[in-house]
Chains A and B, each alone.
Chain A
């Protein structure tokens, strides 16, 4: 049973929408396989606009890995903007993949990658446009398995009723394993329908099927317990960890979009995981342990990626890129290789560390010294101890002094507001720090031509972190502190004009907090928001706090809980959290102790260079730290 391309029906709509090129596919290195020759068919979705979704590494990697399997095919689909959504509804055109414009409902799996919870309403739009029932319970054998992955899937409970399944952790191996289960089941004639397929997936222990678990509540609204409702279903579901990144050198054929996207570069993940132990950082907690890609694999991937894509920028990605054990040799080796080719290198996510200036110099050898970015995150010494961001004011000033004296003119500093135990003085401390940075810069250069930009965002407590029990700061307090900081910076005659200030208001953080630590009851809120027109909640021009607030009041009216209960309430040690049955390997007692240490300003070291501090991940998951140095160097490329 083949499916027809929807393109002939889509094409007449395209001249009427903004940036139609994002819907036509045909990117360099994209793959269109024969529908009938594949036995397992995946539609992979990034639930945001194409310009954000296309560069996403997770989707690109899975797209390529699945298409590399002989009997599996994968196509991509993205959130359509409201202008096209309206036309598709009017003309009855369903959600389509951009590769061959096939209807999403015809696939076996709709795999959705959630980097952020703010994509939840876009999932509902896509399901609805696809003609797939929103609630998993209403789906039939004609509907795909709706499967969530990505960091937000570590607590999928708020969207549990819209999902058939969720997967935690690295997707490479589990995607192949799921494909295999589906291929076998279909080969047998799909016995027992989708229920049996879900059962087969759940019984592996690596796939979470929400409907096989019941959630029971206390009268006061807290969760009493989460239990399997049928035999053969594991009580805990574990995350997946790819141990040898050198065996998975993807993407090998990076997608090169025609439309403009948010990251116009070829990205190589140089390691996965981070054990710096920043307590606010969900990514650092759920991706342990650290697994480095070797310098030689990085070199090969960069060479291949540039050749395949034609991009003129290479980004070396990770959670803290300067921490790679051979980053100095990687930087020097790549800078040597690409000298004079107008290929620029970038190193996002670096810590405040004088060593990083040498790196930055290496990376900007072609003469571009625009700006350096550092993330002290907390404005006061005490605050940085609470969050375990082990950076002192001295470190920061020394680093920026070096940067300014070596020709950099602009330093960007990232902070958070609303951190646990934070007081006004901690946020106002950011102003002091920024002024000291400028003073150091003027002294180092003997010039007033130095700038510093303070960028600040609201903190959201996340599952599987020591702050999962913390009360989120209310948006009124966050907004007040941000205003006071602004006045403090702008009002300064000596330094004010040298300091830029960028901030967002605190309301979106409350919604993100509701979705991050919500449970299954929050699904009603998401649905009500979506029905009320909520789309693209990650975009300030589309986001409406009032819509969320009103929807929550109505949807939770009969419950003993409300938005504040989910966000600004501190949890007790033994309260069952909605994600407690989902195992990232972190020992719950260790997380609790780390939360207590945070309140006592006690810091914890990085286990890469000091003894293990017993977070629990390696023994639980059977993993271990994989780092260099390998001692190898990158050889120059021979130019033919």
Chain B
């Protein structure tokens, strides 16, 4: 392996229903189709050296997913961006590729900005629920994880949470169907506080319970800056310009 390439990609529209495993199969095939000289692990069943950082859950769209590909021959990141994007189905879209300068990508993904579209919700009700959540010290929620039912605080990791101005149309609904948009930044923690945990929290503190499932999109993830917003995790790799 002579080089590691960091890839930012989006999962959009109907492809938000891909699971993490679906994506890893699709990426492996796209890498082969794009003739990217991916390195393989040694051993009885060699695997391509592709690693994923902080994948969004099934059903959640994202503008900021990250993976890293180890290659055997130096590659031009711009070309890999174009080739890989062309080899993936529309909806899995490659947005940015840089050459890695260290091994710290996962550590740099400190927090995520999320958008939640809630169709059929009254903006005032949403605003009150958000107010109640934000002013609470702790909001204990429960979620079934691989390790069983876990109880944890969903409040502390939420750095900001607000109702966005302006109504929008939810997918599959008439244009006049009201749709509230929540925007929030959540610090990555263990156990991870996910958008649905915050929704559970909103229900617990204010009885806020939208009828339809929300459309959730991760807008960004990266190192949290002074204002509590995620910055571009590739800034570090770009120092000195793209090679």
Q: Which residues of A approach B to under 8 Å, CB–CB?
A: 7-12, 14-16, 19-21, 23-28, 256, 258-260, 264, 306-312, 342, 367-368
B59 adjacent to A14 (CB under 8 Å)? yes
Query: B29–A311 contact, CB under 8 A?
Result: yes
Selecting from B19-27, B131-139, B160-168, the interface stretch reads B19-27
Contact with A along B168-192 (1 / 0, CB 8 A): 0001110000000000000000000
The smallest C-beta distance from A12 to any residue of chain B, in angstroms, reads 5
Can you show 27 pairs from A to B with CB atoms below 8 A apart? A7-B14, A8-B171, A11-B14, A11-B171, A15-B213, A19-B19, A20-B59, A21-B18, A21-B19, A21-B22, A23-B17, A24-B14, A25-B14, A26-B15, A26-B89, A26-B91, A256-B29, A258-B18, A258-B89, A259-B22, A264-B25, A309-B33, A310-B30, A311-B29, A312-B29, A342-B46, A342-B48
Q: Complex: how many Å from CA A14 to CA B22?
A: 16
How many whole Å from B162's CB to the nearest CB in chain A? 24
Chain B residues with CB under 8 A of A12: 171-172, 212-213
Number of A-B contacts (CB under 8 A): 79
Distance of A26 Cα from B89 Cα, bound (Å): 7
Q: Report if A27-B25 is in contact (Cβ < 8 Å); known contacts: A12-B212, A309-B33.
A: no
Tell me if A16 and B213 are in contact (CB < 8 A).
Answer: yes
Q: Is B26 within 8 A of A258, CB to CB?
A: yes
Cα A234 to Cα B91 with chains together (Å): 51
A310 and B22 form a contact (CB under 8 A): no
| Residue pair A24, B213 in contact (C-beta under 8 Å) | no
Residues of B within 8 A of A (CB): 14-15, 17-19, 21-22, 25-26, 28-33, 40, 44-46, 48, 58-59, 87, 89-91, 171-173, 212-213
> Complex formed: what's the CA distance from A23 to B58 in Å?
14
**Shortest Cβ distance from B196 into chain A, in angstroms?**
10
Contacts of A367 in B (CB 8 A): 44
Looking across the interface, which residue of chain B has its beta carbon closest to that of A264? B25
- Contact between A307 and B33, CB atoms less than 8 A apart: yes
A246 to chain B, nearest CB (A): 26
Bound together, the chains give a CA A15 to CA B118 distance in angstroms of: 14
Closest 7 pairs (CB-CB, A-B): A310-B29, A8-B172, A310-B33, A24-B14, A15-B213, A20-B17, A310-B32
Additional A-B contact list (20), CB under 8 Å, known A256-B29, A260-B21: A8-B172, A8-B173, A9-B172, A11-B171, A12-B213, A16-B213, A20-B17, A21-B15, A21-B22, A24-B15, A25-B14, A26-B91, A28-B29, A258-B25, A258-B89, A309-B29, A310-B29, A310-B87, A312-B29, A342-B48
The chain B residue with its CB closest to the CB of A101 is B14
> Quick check: B22 and A258 within 8 Å, CB to CB?
yes
By a CB distance below 8 angstroms, the chain A residues around B172 are 7-12
Most buried by A among B17, B18, B28, B213: B17
Q: Which of B19, B25, B173 has the most CB of A within 10 A?
A: B25
Instruction: Assess the A28–B44 pair: CB atoms within 8 A.
Output: no
Q: Whose C-beta in chain B lies nearest to the C-beta of A256?
A: B29
Q: How far is the CA of A492 from the CA of B90 in the complex (A)?
A: 57
- Judging by beta carbons under 8 Å apart, are A26 and B90 in contact? yes
Cα–Cα distance between A128 and B200 once the two chains are bound (Å)? 38
Which B residues are in CB contact (< 8 Å) with A23? 17
Which residues of A sit under 8 angstroms from B46, Cβ to Cβ?
342
Which A residues lie within 8 Å of B14 (CB)? 7, 11, 24-26
CA A259 – CA B18 in complex, angstroms? 7
Which of B17, B30, B173 meets A24, CB within 8 Å? B17
B24 to chain A, nearest CB (A): 11
Verify A342–B171 contact, CB threshold 8 A.
Answer: no
